Each structure stands twice: as structure tokens, then as C-alpha cells.
Structure 1
Amino acid sequence: MHTSIASNRAEQLSLRTTDLNPYPTKPRVTFRADGTFKLTVFSDLHYGENPWDAWGPQQDVNSTVLMKLVLASEQPDYVVLNGDLITGENTFRENSTHLIDEIVAPLNAVKIPFSSTHGNHDNEPNITHYEEIIREQEVAPLSYTRLAPPGVGGYGGPGNYWVPVYEKASDSAPILVLWFFDSRGGFSPGANSTAMPDWVDASVATWIKSETAAMTAAWGPASARGALAFVHIPPHVIQPLQAGLNSTRDPGLNADLLGQGSTQATTDPANNGKDDDFWATLNAEVENLHAVISGHDHGNEWCIREPTKDVIFCFDKHSGYGGYSSAGWGHGVRNIVFSSPDPKQGLQTWIRLEDGTTRAQVTLDGRYMRR
């Protein structure tokens, strides 16, 4: 197994240095013929809670029902699983990765391409980000999740990668790049477990620079393509913005106070600034970055413009029946729709609940919070 994993990573690196196509054996992800592209984001599924009683497995059943219902109704072009797929502190070591099989089964059934990020609960004594990624690659033919090159991501953060999206499959260059970043967190594996850093490692900043330079060399100016980024734990610079939310301009549930308890551990004063290299480089090097999308805070759904880098940030919607919740929060997804492949055009995004109702619709474009 270790030999195949090593050869897989070597193959990925070799392919990256030739034609910059990390997925030569998979179908190209494309816009629809009408020029649109729809993503549905499932966040904080939290499979594997309380496997020793009846309550825990029933939550997994409920989450699977939600996934099947939403996929059938929304029919997205691409799906993102934005972290905390598994509640790793509750699972058993011998079968933790098999929860990935349950999570991806609805996606496999409808043959939809997808990517995952991983969260603090995916790094625990009984599971790691690395193990989840490898299992997903083994059991999901249309998973586009992959490992970062060696040395990128820091300890416990191997899930940094990007996925090209083309206007047409025959195009020589993508029109959109989806970026996925590993914010780590949780605890190291094994009996002598210790807390892990819960921010995107500084090594990722250097990698972003090298990747964007390679993209420009292979595909031409970055101004010709758009970008969208996903990470599980929100950067700490978002915390002070919560006080200035406007429920009309920035609609959506706002029930989690950032920085309290486990809802955003990166705001611990001792950790502030640790993700600055990542945040600054992402916004400096990735042009036409439409938004940065996070999960982690189950009670938040809002979007806001982060003024220091002039980029829009959005929370997801808590999808899973596992993980903390409260009466009235509900479960659902964030939908994101590109109405055109033009990288200068804005996006439509909204929260869709399990029962089909929608809320918090906003247009993410240059006029958002500037009207």
C-alpha cells in the first residue's frame, strides 16, 4: 500500500511538470453548454458520532438522506465537501476510513465529480486527513481530491490542491480554478496525541506562488480565468468583521460568535497571525478570486467583504446531522452558480435547506458591499 501511495504522488508531480494537468485519467470538469456552472457545498457532515449507541448511526442515515435529496433536486455540476467529514474522536481506529465509503456513496451513485477539504475533526487519534484522502481516492472514481507535493501543508495538512474547470472539454486552458486548502487542526494520531496547528501552514504560500507561476506559463495571463477557494477553518481576519454585519446586506444565520470555544480556534491570541502568509499570498497571487468559502462554524451562513484584501468571504451551511447544532438552525447546503464563464462576472449564492426552502441569496461581484 505504501508503495502505491508513493508512486501515485510521484506520478502527480511528474504530470504537473509536463502539461499541468493533474487529472489525465479523469473527465475534464466543464461549464454547461449554456455557459453556467453550479456547485453545491456540503459542510460539516460529521459522520461517525457515537457508534456505540443507536443515536450516532441514525445521524449518519439522516445525513445520507439529506445528501441524496439535495443531489436529486439541485443537480449540481460539482460538489464540495468542505471539511469535518468525520467526527474522528468518536470513531474506532479499525474502521474509521470506511466512513468515507458511506459519505461518497451518494456521489458515486449519481456520478458527480467532487472535491474534499478536511477539518479539525478529521485529524484525531483514530483518523487523519492523509488517511481520508487516500481512502477517498480508492473508493470514489470521480473524486478530484489529491495530496499536496511533499513539504507543502505542514504537519497534518496534506490536502492543498487545485482543480481546473474548462468552458469546453476541448479547450487548451481552464476558465476557472477551484483552490482547496488544508487548515489542519484537531489532534495528532496515536496514544500520545497532541493538539495540531489549526491554520493553513506558511509553506502553502510558497506553493501558491509556484503554482500560479506555472499556470501563467502554461495557460497565459491569469486575468483570463477566475478562481474560487475553499478552506474549512476561516482565517482569523474574519473574526472582527462579524460585529459589522448588516442583516439586509449580509443575510443568513448569524448564531456562532467567532472565537468562542471550538468554533474558531485560530482566534486564540497565541495563534493570531499564523495564517497571514497564506491569506496575503492567496489574495496577492490568485487573480479574479471570486470568494473564499469556509465551514467550521455551524451557526453561521453569512458572506462579507474582507477589507484588508478586498475579497469576499462566505460561510457554508451545516449539512450533517452530526456535530453541534441548535433549534431552528436546520441543515442544508450552500449553492454557488456561475452565470457565465467570463471571469469578471459575479456569482449567485444562497442557502438551500433540506426541505427545499432557500434564504440568504446574494450576488458576489464587484458591487457587493460597495453599493
Structure 2
Amino acid sequence: MKSSCLMNRLVLFISAFVVLCNGTPVCRGVLDPYPNKPKLTFRDDGTFKITLLSDLHFGENPWDDWGPEQDANSTKLMRTVLPDENPDFAVINGDLITGENTFRGNSTSLIDEIVGPLNELKITFASSHGNHDNQVNITHLEEILREQAVAPLSYTRTAPPGVGGEHGPGNYWVPVKSPLCVRSPQGQDHAKDLPGGVDQNGDAIPDWVDESVAKWIKIETQRMNAAWGPSEKRGALAFVHIPPHVVQDLRGGLDSAKEPGLNADELGAGSSQASGSDSVFGNDQPFWDALTENVPNLHAVFSGHDHGNEWCSRDNSKDVIFCFSKHTGYGGYDHGWGHGVRNIVFSSPSPTTAPETWIRMEAGDVHARITLDENYGR
């Protein structure tokens, strides 16, 4: 019986949306977008671990020694941290490449370096994409296609036609099955592709999640409900590279004792979505509304982008927790904040069991360990 079970507990919508869902035979059919890839599964003890890497920024200063040295340091970090953490799944949460800095002729080959440690360790993973991944020398789509070509265990894929706008093609979800044959869905994760940056003509690209993604979230949730039952029977996480604009209000009331983690980056223009001017501030609101209104048991939303922040805080208006990742790569700006990853661990596939999360530094030290439950941030 168990060997024939093809049911899901976790579905990941990456770049903008990731879903955790509990076992259902329907995932064998139309709602399983990966019929030829290994099925992701909660462990036999009911746990599932995600290691979140962010802001690798490969490809800086390729004309001298400094840039390639930073890439080598980032690769070394991955080869140190990933075997120690032994995650069930990894998420690279945006700004894989500093596309305005690298050379056009070999920019996609940097993906080979980035996914190398994941390939060697046979870790399943998926990527979101950020503002530095849309630049004169690289695009989100080029990165996705290269990753698909060189990483057999990558679950990164492109969005359906018309979803994500012209420059945000990477909105998708990844199913994870239960270790047991359980009939009702239990968990749900979401993540989204954020444009931003400039196009290959140097023209600015909006930094907010396209409104089409908001519509897509609603449609996909309805499909899951029809196949698996009510959304309340699933739990969820979300990943997006640039934080939504609401985090600017969250920072002002942070209590470092209750909401631990590095809090060094100021939040203002350019540090959150749709923040270029008052006239566009809030253009990410349809996405934020769609995510928080259509996905019950949304345990947290994770972003990168601001290298000096690690904290988590609750948006009381939507009753959802937002968390920064940890700056992983040696590329990109840094002021002695160190490099590491964020771990997210579920102790059970139950939709209401909150995951634990913490920051793990390259040398192995751990801090900001919290549980993303109903008491956090209150």
C-alpha cells in the first residue's frame, strides 16, 4: 500500500509562490507538473527541511581577481553548509547573478557554478529571481533555461503564458508527497518571481510582483481546492526576492528581544516593492492581498534583497509573518555582517503545525531561532 502512494503534502510555488500540500492521489494527474522527476517527500518521521540561500551575486568584477574570488568563496560556503544541514529541499531566493556587472558572452555559464554544489550533493532545489537577474547581460528567462539544462534536480520552471508580466516568467509550484497514504491535503507553500532591475536596453523594470500573479494565485488555489479539498487543510510558505512594501511599517516596531536577527539595513526607496515614489507605492498590494486572502495557514513569507536584515515580524493587518533570508553570497554589498543561510523545518505535515526557523552562519554558529506560530510577533 505504502509503496504505491503518490500523495502530496508539500507544494512549492517558487519565484513568487510555493505550496505545501498533504497526500492526495490527484497529484498523480493534472496537478503534478513533474511526472518525470523524483517525488519530493516528507521524511518518515514527518519532518521536512528547507535551506534558504539568498543573494549569491555571482559574476561581479569578472575583469579582475576580486570577482572570481567572491564566487569561489560563495561556492565554498555552499559546499560547507549544505552537507552539514542536509536539507530535503533548497531555495535560492533571488539575485543569483549581478547581471549588470558580468560579461554578456558567458553570463549564463555562471549558473553552472551556482548549481554545482547542489548537483554534487544531489539536493533538489528551485530558484526565484531578483532585480539583479534582469539586467543588460542576463534575464530571468535565460537563467531558468540554463538551470533546467544543467541541473537535473532543479524544479525551477516558467509560469503559464501571461503570468508574471514580460519580465517575471518564473512563477510556479512544486508538489511534495506524504510519506503515508493520507487522503486530505495538509500543507501548502508559495513563492513568486519578482521582476525589477533593467531590461537589455537599460530601461527600468517594475520591482513589484505583477498583478497577473495575484489572479494566478486565486486560480491555482481554486484548482487545488477542487482537487484536494479546502485550503484550510493545507499549510503554506511563500518566497519572493524583494520584500513587499508592508515591511517598511513592520521595521519601526521591532522588539529585538522578541523578534531577533540582524536589523542593519534601512528600509526605503528601492529596498521594498513599489517604493520608487509615492505614486507607485503599493503596486504590490494585489499580490499581497491575493496571497494572504487565498492561502489559509500561511506560516510565513520570505524575501532576500536587503543584505543586512534577518528579522521576522508579523503584519497584523493580514495576520501573517514576514521574514528576511540571510545574505549567503560573497557578492553584493556587505558591511561585515557575515554569510550564511536560513533553515526552515517542519516537525509535522499537519497544516497547523508551525515550522521552526533560524539563521546558520558559514562557520556553523546559529542564532535567531524562532517558531513561526500564532504567538510570534504578538
Contact 2:185-2:229 within 8 A present in 1 as well: no
Unaligned runs of 5+ in 2: 1-25
Unaligned runs of 5+ in 1: 1-14
Displacement after TM superposition at 1:162 (Å): 1.2
Task: List, as ranges, runs of 4+ consecutive aligned residues in structure 1 with deviation greater than 6 Å.
Answer: none
Instruction: Give CA deviations for 1:102-122 in whole Å, capped at 9, x if unaligned.
Output: 000100011111010000000
Structure 2 residue 353 is matched with structure 1 residue 342: no
* Residue number in structure 2 paired with 1:8: none
Structure 2 residue 111 is matched with structure 1 residue 100: yes
Contact 1:40-1:334 within 8 A present in 2 as well: yes
* Residue number in structure 1 paired with 2:132: 121
Displacement after TM superposition at 1:164 (Å): 1.6
Displacement after TM superposition at 1:263 (Å): 3.1
| TM-score, normalised relative to structure 1 | 0.92
* Residue number in structure 2 paired with 1:168: 179
> 1: distance between equivalents of 2:354 and 2:61?
42
> 1: distance between equivalents of 2:252 and 2:161?
39
> 2: distance between equivalents of 1:103 and 1:16?
30
Structure 2 residue 321 is matched with structure 1 residue 315: no
Contact 2:243-2:273 within 8 A present in 1 as well: no
Displacement after TM superposition at 1:170 (Å): 5.8
* Residue number in structure 2 paired with 1:208: 217
Structure 2 residue 76 is matched with structure 1 residue 69: no
State the AA in 2 paired with 1:220: G
| Superposition RMSD in Å | 1.7
Structure 2 residue 348 is matched with structure 1 residue 358: no
Return the structure number with greater relative CO, CA threshold 8 A, min gap 6: 2
- Alignment CA distance shift 1:219-1:131 (3 Å): same
Displacement after TM superposition at 1:72 (Å): 1.0
> 2: distance between equivalents of 1:129 and 1:317?
21
> 1: distance between equivalents of 2:28 and 2:283?
30
* Residue number in structure 2 paired with 1:283: 292
> 2: distance between equivalents of 1:210 and 1:16?
17
Contact 1:47-1:322 within 8 A present in 2 as well: yes
* Residue number in structure 1 paired with 2:192: 181
* Residue number in structure 2 paired with 1:5: none
| TM-score, normalised relative to structure 2 | 0.90
How many residues get paired? 352
Contact 1:38-1:335 within 8 A present in 2 as well: yes
* Residue number in structure 2 paired with 1:10: none
Instruction: Give CA deviations for 1:126-150 in whole Å, capped at 9, x if unaligned.
Output: 1000110111111111111111101
Bigger mean CA deviation after superposition, 51-60 or 166-175? 166-175
> 2: distance between equivalents of 1:263 and 1:203?
22
Helix, strand or coil: the match of 1:256? coil
> 2: distance between equivalents of 1:201 and 1:155?
9
Displacement after TM superposition at 1:228 (Å): 0.7
Instruction: Give CA deviations for 1:6-53 in whole Å, capped at 9, x if unaligned.
Output: xxxxxxxxx999521011111111111111111100000000000000
- Alignment CA distance shift 1:321-1:368 (3 Å): same
* Residue number in structure 2 paired with 1:195: 204
Contact 2:46-2:179 within 8 A present in 1 as well: no
Instruction: Give CA deviations for 1:68-96 in whole Å, capped at 9, x if unaligned.
Output: 10011111111000000000001111111
Contact 1:83-1:295 within 8 A present in 2 as well: yes
Structure 2 residue 274 is matched with structure 1 residue 266: yes
